[in-house]
Amino acid sequence: MPKRALFLVVFILPLCLQITLLSAQSFTNPILPGGYPDPSVCKVGDFFYMANSSFEYFPGIPIHKSKDLVNWTLIGHGLDRESQCNATINLVDVQSNGGIYAPNLRFQEGTFYIITTAIYQDAKTKKSGGKNFIITASDAAGPWSDPVVVRGAPGIDPDLFFDEDGRVWYVGNHKPKDPEFTDQKEIWLQEINLKTFQLMGERYSLWRGACDGVWTEGPHIYKKNGAYYLMIAEGGTSFNHAVMVAKSDRITGPYISNMRNPIFSSRQLSYDNWVHSTGHGDLIELEDGRWYMTLLGVRGDLNRKSNMGRETFIVPVVWEREVRGNGERNLWPVVAPKTGRIERHNPIIFDAIKAPSKKLNFTDDFQSPELGLAWTFRRVPMPNTLTLKDRPGYLRLYTHSNTISNRKRSHFTGIKQTESDFEFITKIHFNPKDDNSEAGIAVIQKDNNFVSFTLRKDKAGMRIEVVHKNKKKNTLKSHKIKSYKGVIKLKLVSSNDQYIFSYATKGKAYKTLITTAADLVLFSGFTGAHIGPYATSNGQNNLDYADFDWVKYVPRPRK
């Protein structure tokens, strides 16, 4: 072997081994990529469980399971039956950004509890209201019980705290009777009957927050060394989002604010930091005494936003005695103690053997008789939206007169976009009989913020179109297909801050239809983008349908 070649082998081989070891000994944030905000986590036996907000999407309240706090598997939803969501809790015609806010997941004596808020705005009066409710299950994967509304419980983002003396407490927020400024909120506490899920006894006002007190919400109570710690979100869920904490010797207060609040935020960082708007945390203690915080954040991939919206991240926590001149030595949580911020790359939490690499790719060839857990709908789907039985091995999506529009239930199902750069491909069999029938894929952020990439029949034949809606619909490209034979592949690639829309008819190579900026559906509101099959008859009533042979989604994480 030549000396130069030998040198390269000797030099490169250790380097490759070093890179492999570093990869095995580290993980990347976010731990739950895609629109999974407001994480709440608990530990049962050897496993961790997490619940997240779902807003107007159905099934609601996704629940993940993990053994290492890094790799999470979706195991079910707290709300997965129409009977749970069309009466007490309305996810049928709920407005955008309504629905399920900030579930709190806890486990006690063989039962999982979720307490959360459902927000609904009356379409006629425009009045909004919230219902705080509880569901339970013996298995986090479900089935979960029907919702029980906690009467007389104002506010959002409630918490259940199980104290050592057997008492159970409801912790919520509301507008104080004597607000000092606009949007001031207050954390309150009241005992709750675990049999009836109704409040009882005296109500206590606990805390109005640490700094400006704007939107004090998302409360959680923890107990350590006999003291009670009240941790909240504050500052609104944007760039000023933050985590605050207060402490008391009694659960009913009074609570003293940590002088070093906020204990975590991205306020001190540039707006152009790789992740911002960090907050709404939940603490978890490991068996070896270490602590971690799960919390939400927004990646700033493009224009200080991303299509994924608010995602779940994790940071380490230590407990330290404060240093004060008067000799007080209160114990407080210190979040991300080494850097004070969320890091992209992190040392693994558990042994590398227990931390396999994240499964980022998603493929569905629709061989199962049931739609997979990853698929969601904007609101409870209508009857006869789709079937996996009429043509086994295909997802048959029927057309409907509804289009993607305000508070409507369109025939769309999608998976969460998990990275800014990705490739999404599907193969469709579509032979409509009626004009205006349309099928393809859509990337939806909101009812008034989406892009569709579809095949549509008109009097002249079949057209392939890219339509963008942001308040108004705008056809970006419309092209007549001359040699359509009933089968088409659609491919959407997001790369270098661009969308590339291409298609391939039967037996043909891919053709690029149009290239656009990748900021068409950037995050606004509370949810991230979903991408998947879509079909409509554009106001007509017919029996047309599209058969989706398979879908393939390949995200490409940025460095």
Q: Cα(352)–Cα(27) distance, rounded to whole angstroms?
A: 10
**Upper half-sphere CA count for residue 41 (Cβ side, 13 Å):** 32
Cβ-based neighbours of 384, under 8 Å, separated by 6 or more: 398
% of the chain beyond a pLDDT of 70: 94
Write down the pLDDT at residue 205: 97
Reading the block at residue 95, the tokens are 């407005």
- Given a cut of 90, whether residue 2 has pLDDT beyond it is no
Catalytic sites, residue numbers:
38, 217
Residues 426 and 539 in one domain: yes
CB contact set of 516 (below 8 Å; sequence gap of 6+):
466, 468, 476, 498, 499, 501
Q: Is the pLDDT of residue 14 over 70?
A: no
530 pLDDT band, cuts 50/70/90, is very high
Which residue has 């709920």 as its token pair?
A: 94
Q: What is the mean predicted confidence (pLDDT) over 33-43?
A: 97
Beta bridge partners of 555: 422
pLDDT averaged over every residue in the chain: 92
Predicted local distance difference test score (pLDDT) of residue 6: 39
Tell me what pLDDT residue 26 has. Answer: 87
Picking from 131-135, 140-144, 290-294, 518-522, which range would have the lowest pLDDT averaged per residue? 518-522
Whether residue 128 lies inside any domain: the answer is: yes
Q: Is residue 311 part of a domain?
A: no
Report which of 292, 270, 269 is spatially closest to residue 281, judged by C-alpha positions. Answer: 292
Do 256 and 368 lie in one domain? The reply is no
Instruction: Considering only residues 17 and 426, tell me which one the structure prediction assigns the higher pLDDT.
Output: 426
- How many domains are there within the chain? 2
CATH for 255 = 2.115.10.20
pLDDT-based confidence at 559, cuts 50/70/90? confident
Based on the fold, state whether residues 257 and 373 are members of the same structural domain.
no
Give the predicted TM-score (pTM) of the model: 0.93
Residue 324 lies in a domain: no
Q: Which of 230, 246, 262 is the last residue of a domain?
A: 262
State the pLDDT at residue 361.
Answer: 94
Q: Residue 523: its pLDDT value, please?
A: 82
Residue 509 has pLDDT above 90, yes or no: yes
Residues 411 and 534 in one domain: yes
What does the buried/exposed string (b/e) look like for 306-322 if buried means 16 or more CB atoms within 10 Å of the residue's CB?
bbbbbbbbbbbbeeeee
Q: Residues 6 or more apart from 80 whose CB is under 8 A from it?
A: 59, 60, 142, 143, 144
**Is the per-residue pLDDT at 378 higher than 90?**
yes
Q: Quick check: 274 and 300 in contact, CB under 8 A?
A: yes
- Point out the least confidently predicted range of 22-31, 89-98, 208-217, 521-530: 22-31
Mean pLDDT to the nearest integer, 252-278: 96
Q: For a pLDDT cut of 90, what percent of the chain falls above it?
A: 86
- Going by C-beta distance under 8 Å and a sequence separation of 6 or more, which residues neighbour residue 465? 452, 453, 454, 455, 456, 475, 477, 478, 479
CATH number at residue 412: 2.60.120.200
Q: Structural domain of residue 85, as residue ranges?
A: 28-262
pLDDT tens per residue across span 51-106 = 999 999 999 999 999 999 999 999 999 999 999 997 789 999 999 999 999 999 99
